[in-house]
A = this chain, B = another copy of it.
Amino acid sequence: MISLEQIKKLAIPSASKIVMLVIDGLGGLPNPKTGKTELETAITPNLDRLAEEGICGLADIVSPGITPGSAPGHLALFGYDPLKFSIGRGILETLGIDFGLKKGDIAARGNFCTIDEKRLVTDRRAGRIPTERCVQLCEILSHIRLDDIQLFVLPVREHRFSLVLRGGELSAKLSDSDPQQTGVFPNIVAAANPRAERTARLVNQFIDRAKEILPQHYPANMILLRGFSQLPEIPTFNDTYKLKSAAIATYPMYKGIAKLLGMKVLGGANSIKEELTTLARHYAEYNFFFVHIKQTDAAGEDGDFSRKVKVIEEIDVALPPLLSLKPEVTVVTGDHSTPALLKGHSWHPVPLLLHSQWCRPDAAKEFSERACTSGGLGRFSALDIMPLAMANALKLTKFGA
């Protein structure tokens, strides 16, 4: 496998454009009644044409058999080995809300939750309180003062918030307070090593203060924290590939990953159609576009086969503005599979199509898991997607004499 440092030496800046359309949780499993997956059931003339003209395959995102989370999934799509690079949950959540994280900051993902009179967790999401309520509660918790350090309590959406600690020698080597189940007590945050002891003490102080303040705000009468993390050392996407890149996404986490890698996040879109018109509006300004569509994954997670089919069809209908731009390279794939039958992320490789002028013809005549199995890319590592996209955009020079 070629490394990012080696790719960087081969990358040459050029005007050609690459569009990577990530349909979250795209891969599926057949509906037992029809024998067809979500993608195979959906009517997708535009995607089918791209697949027929281009080259297809099945990409293993992390490694065969491994079910990827969203962050590792996207890292792999962008060519960063998720077994080597990792982004903590707290950092991801915080990047997604456009908070200016600094090196050394500690971030955690927070949930407002409900505990009963015995202090056992009864609802890890406090009945999914409205976002406005979350904003008010974060404002209240922001007034907590801890020795010597700055503290940010940042609302995200519904019951979700970020906690950021700043100042002095902090360490993210901390265990979660979130027990990830109901009927048990929240955990005390523990330091994994002596250097993290001060940070653990500060975090537990914060939790104790919140515990005193929140009882009057039922159902959000407690907090749970997880994914303590710091900004990772990671080479930027633009520097590595010599690209000018933009990201279009509606959900915070995906904007966060894009921002972390140094992509420009283009905001404002709230639907699939708007995402693709945003792409068209900014097409002249960038030469790499990451477009993230969330709704497929949400439908898959809900086990709603037919809604996932409808979202895929909605994407296909929204494609013409993208197609008419005729990018030199179009990649359509997912960051992992989310079969409605499994109601969650799965290990199945993701269908992928790569469309460019320079593809060798293959047997795939439509965009489906089945067709991708006989595609010219075969079954391959997601880490090869970026080198293949760059090659087809004629953005890589020869390796060696």
So how many copies of this chain end up in the complex? Answer: 2
Q: CA of A67 to CA of B360 in the docked complex: distance in angstroms?
A: 15
| Chain B residues within 8 Å of A2, by CB | 62-63, 66, 83
Q: CA of A35 to CA of B360 in the docked complex: distance in angstroms?
A: 10
Q: CA of A379 to CA of B347 in the docked complex: distance in angstroms?
A: 17
B-contacting 9-mer, from A98-106, A242-250, A391-399: A391-399
Contact A66 B399 (CB under 8 A): yes
| Chain B residues within 8 Å of A66, by CB | 2, 10, 387, 391, 396, 399
Q: Which of B86, B342, B398 contacts A400 (CB 8 A)?
A: B86
Q: Which of B64, B68, B370 contacts A361 (CB 8 A)?
A: B370
Q: CA of A152 to CA of B67 in the docked complex: distance in angstroms?
A: 49
Contact A360 B387 (CB under 8 A): no
Q: CA of A376 to CA of B6 in the docked complex: distance in angstroms?
A: 31
| Chain B residues within 8 Å of A374, by CB | 363, 374
Chain B nearest CB from A372 CB (Å) reads: 10
Question: Given A358-B342, A363-B373, A401-B89, is A63 in contact with B396 using a C-beta cutoff of 8 Å?
Answer: no
A69 within 8 A of B: yes
Chain B nearest CB from A69 CB (Å) reads: 4
Q: Which of B344, B373, B379, B398 contacts A68 (CB 8 A)?
A: B398
A30 within 8 A of B: yes
Chain B nearest CB from A75 CB (Å) reads: 8
Contact A69 B399 (CB under 8 A): yes
Contact B391 A358 (CB under 8 A): no
Q: CA of A70 to CA of B401 in the docked complex: distance in angstroms?
A: 6
Q: CA of A235 to CA of B72 in the docked complex: distance in angstroms?
A: 26
A300 within 8 A of B: no
A168 within 8 A of B: no
Q: CA of A68 to CA of B401 in the docked complex: distance in angstroms?
A: 8
Contact B68 A399 (CB under 8 A): yes
Give chain A's interface residue range (CB within 8 Å of chain B): 35 or more
Q: Which of B373, B377, B390 contacts A376 (CB 8 A)?
A: B373
Contact with B along A69-106 (1 / 0, CB 8 A): 11110000000001100100100100000000000000
| Chain B residues within 8 Å of A227, by CB | 401
Contact A398 B69 (CB under 8 A): yes
A29 within 8 A of B: yes
Contact B399 A62 (CB under 8 A): yes
A255 within 8 A of B: no
Question: Which residue on chain B has the smallest CB distance to residue A68?
Answer: B399
Question: Which residue on chain B has the smallest CB distance to residue A35?
Answer: B361
Q: CA of A67 to CA of B395 in the docked complex: distance in angstroms?
A: 11
Q: CA of A368 to CA of B358 in the docked complex: distance in angstroms?
A: 17
Q: Which of B65, B373, B400 contacts A362 (CB 8 A)?
A: B373
Contact B358 A29 (CB under 8 A): yes
A259 within 8 A of B: no
| Chain B residues within 8 Å of A65, by CB | 384, 386-392, 396
* 11 more CB-based (< 8 A) A-B contacts, given A58-B378, A67-B398, A376-B379: A2-B83, A37-B360, A63-B387, A64-B380, A64-B384, A64-B387, A65-B386, A70-B401, A71-B400, A82-B399, A379-B380
10 A-B pairs closest in CB distance:
A65-B387, A69-B400, A378-B379, A72-B400, A64-B384, A65-B391, A65-B388, A347-B391, A2-B63, A89-B401
Cross-chain pairs A/B with CB under 8 angstroms, 15 sampled: A3-B83, A6-B83, A30-B360, A30-B361, A64-B377, A65-B390, A65-B391, A66-B399, A67-B398, A68-B399, A72-B400, A341-B358, A346-B391, A361-B370, A373-B376
